[in-house]
Homo-oligomer: A and B are copies of this chain.
């Protein structure tokens, strides 16, 4: 049998990075801009981010957080106040040095140098910390629970659409608490919201845990993370939640008077997820025909393609398509209504159909003159590898659409979970085995080897750099510890800590 043709070339198994670029292009999600390392997020890609944003924003507000907006620019002197923080970000800062342009010999050049150069925010702990030092005065002001939706800039050397770009969009939560315990609770509560987003909405299984010291946020006491496995078996860090202890409150003098009149430093947290989650959705769910969007994050749940082959029936078919759309829109689906879109562009129906397959819409419906008479429709599910076209009565379809969408949502999570489970090795006990695991054998393509390794680690931060030559890192110390004893994968010493090791984005 001849291998069936696929819409995306190359296939995942043949060249994963190139497959990723192709999906981004064919699903019209984003493109490289002429500005080094910056991307243009195209409407379809942006609308996925909007769904993520809407979902999170509601949860942040439900848990008492308020949105605010802080300056894009950070004075150099602020960056310097937390020593580890500035060290972590100094190598990737876009710096504004002038406030005007002037023409010189027919060429535009920067003019009017600033007294103090400004950094374009790579993250906002410092500029927000300064504001919080004024906002927080008394225990009555606590907890202070703030979130910001913003763009940030980290000057990356090697960039990749959605995964690593010099500018990206994100949310960053920043909070102040009266006690260490309250701050800890916040950090875990936010991580739990992220887990729900990723597992229940994006249908991606997540491994939750703490970052090792080598991977900790610059200036944090503890960084918590969730790690997702992509289809090339590499890890993508989905987002982080930082317990900043009193590091930033001491650097920025965030103090409050207690009920009995003492002055105390607050405990701060910060936490964020970025547009790279869109990259995660692509790399976990995408197949050789394009993107596959979990229904709960899909901007459209159903796309209706009217078959307008017979001009005399055109009006009737459009009316019918609209009727189906209207009925679908009445069905509630996880806090939204079912979103149906009619694609009435002047194009061949088959071309449209394939476009929506590539864009990952969960359900594609076709209605034509014949369906009119039978009150039926033809639909295909994006989770069906054969993309089989099935007939159904339109009333029946409307009645079952929420169930079908739930099935698709579940099937994506289940296959991602199976894939993840299959590729977590637990039988690696020595550094040599580890090295072998992460080194492709002769006949292996780089995209079909490796995975996550769950092994023991002694916990000595000095040992982490032994992993550098393998281009592997400790992704996290997972929360679900077995507490058994074994040998450290890096040193051979006795160790009880379970860690997850992997190559990562």
Interface residues of A (CB under 8 A from B): 31, 33-35, 38-43, 46-47, 50, 66-76, 78-80, 86, 90-103, 108-110, 117-120, 127, 130-131, 134, 140, 146, 150-151, 153, 155, 167, 169, 345-347
* Residues on B with beta carbons closer than 8 Å to the beta carbon of A70: 33, 40
* Residues on B with beta carbons closer than 8 Å to the beta carbon of A91: 100-101
Count the copies.
Answer: 2
Task: Indicate which residue in B34, B86, B102, B118 contacts A75 across the interface (CB closer than 8 Å).
Answer: B34
A159: min CB distance to chain B, Å: 12
Can you name 19 A-B residue pairings with CB atoms under 8 Å? A34-B75, A34-B130, A35-B75, A38-B71, A39-B71, A41-B69, A46-B66, A46-B68, A71-B167, A72-B151, A72-B153, A86-B101, A90-B103, A91-B100, A94-B98, A94-B99, A95-B101, A97-B97, A99-B155
* Residues on B with beta carbons closer than 8 Å to the beta carbon of A40: 68-71, 131
Q: Is the CB of B155 within 8 A of A100?
A: yes
Q: Is the CB of A43 within 8 A of B72?
A: no
A304: min CB distance to chain B, Å: 17
Q: Is the CB of A69 within 8 A of B140?
A: no
The listed residue with most B CB atoms (<10 A of its CB), out of A91, A103, A108, is A108
- Known interface pairs A35-B127, A93-B99, A98-B117; 8 further A-B residue pairs with C-beta atoms within 8 A, sorted by A's residue number: A38-B72, A50-B67, A76-B101, A86-B101, A86-B108, A90-B100, A94-B98, A97-B98
Assuming the contacts A117-B110, A131-B33, A345-B140, asked whether A167 and B68 have C-beta atoms less than 8 A apart, the reply is: no
A286: min CB distance to chain B, Å: 21
A26: min CB distance to chain B, Å: 15
In whole angstroms, what is the CA distance A97 to B114 when docked?
12
Assuming the contacts A35-B127, A101-B79, asked whether A167 and B92 have C-beta atoms less than 8 A apart, the reply is: no
A212: min CB distance to chain B, Å: 26
In whole angstroms, what is the CA distance A140 to B43 when docked?
17
Task: Indicate which residue in B47, B68, B108, B150 contacts A90 across the interface (CB closer than 8 Å).
Answer: B108
Task: Indicate which residue in B69, B71, B140 contacts A35 across the interface (CB closer than 8 Å).
Answer: B71
Q: Is the CB of A43 within 8 A of B71?
A: no
The listed residue with most B CB atoms (<10 A of its CB), out of A43, A69, A79, A92, is A69
Q: Is the CB of A92 within 8 A of B86?
A: no
Q: Is the CB of A127 within 8 A of B33?
A: yes
Task: Indicate which residue in B38, B74, B93, B140 contacts A346 across the interface (CB closer than 8 Å).
Answer: B140
In whole angstroms, what is the CA distance A39 to B68 when docked?
11
Q: Is the CB of B74 within 8 A of A46?
A: no
In whole angstroms, what is the CA distance A19 to B155 when docked?
43
Q: Is the CB of A97 within 8 A of B100?
A: no
Q: Is the CB of A79 within 8 A of B108?
A: yes
A70: min CB distance to chain B, Å: 5
In whole angstroms, what is the CA distance A150 to B69 when docked?
12
Q: Is the CB of A167 within 8 A of B73?
A: yes
Assuming the contacts A100-B155, A127-B35, A155-B100, asked whether A95 and B66 have C-beta atoms less than 8 A apart, the reply is: no
Q: Is the CB of B38 within 8 A of A66?
A: no
A209: min CB distance to chain B, Å: 31
In whole angstroms, what is the CA distance A70 to B155 when docked?
17
In whole angstroms, what is the CA distance A199 to B146 when docked?
32
In whole angstroms, what is the CA distance A101 to B96 when docked?
11
* Residues on B with beta carbons closer than 8 Å to the beta carbon of A75: 34-35
* Residues on B with beta carbons closer than 8 Å to the beta carbon of A97: 95-98, 110
Assuming the contacts A47-B67, A108-B86, asked whether A167 and B98 have C-beta atoms less than 8 A apart, the reply is: no
Kindly report which residue of chain B lies nearest to residue A150, judged by CB atoms: B151
Q: Is the CB of B119 within 8 A of A101?
A: yes
In whole angstroms, what is the CA distance A78 to B151 when docked?
21
Kindly report which residue of chain B lies nearest to residue A140, judged by CB atoms: B346
A411: min CB distance to chain B, Å: 29
The listed residue with most B CB atoms (<10 A of its CB), out of A94, A150, A151, is A94
In whole angstroms, what is the CA distance A127 to B41 when docked?
13
A85: min CB distance to chain B, Å: 12
Q: Is the CB of B71 within 8 A of A42?
A: no
Q: Which 3 A-B pairs have the closest CB atoms?
A: A43-B66, A38-B71, A41-B69
Q: Is the CB of B68 within 8 A of A42?
A: yes
Q: Is the CB of B33 within 8 A of A71?
A: yes
* Residues on B with beta carbons closer than 8 Å to the beta carbon of A346: 140
Q: Is the CB of A100 within 8 A of B110?
A: no
In whole angstroms, what is the CA distance A146 to B117 when docked?
34
Kindly report which residue of chain B lies nearest to residue A118, judged by CB atoms: B35
Kindly report which residue of chain B lies nearest to residue A169, judged by CB atoms: B69
* Residues on B with beta carbons closer than 8 Å to the beta carbon of A127: 33, 35
* Residues on B with beta carbons closer than 8 Å to the beta carbon of A95: 96-101, 110
* Residues on B with beta carbons closer than 8 Å to the beta carbon of A35: 71, 73-75, 118, 127
A329: min CB distance to chain B, Å: 14
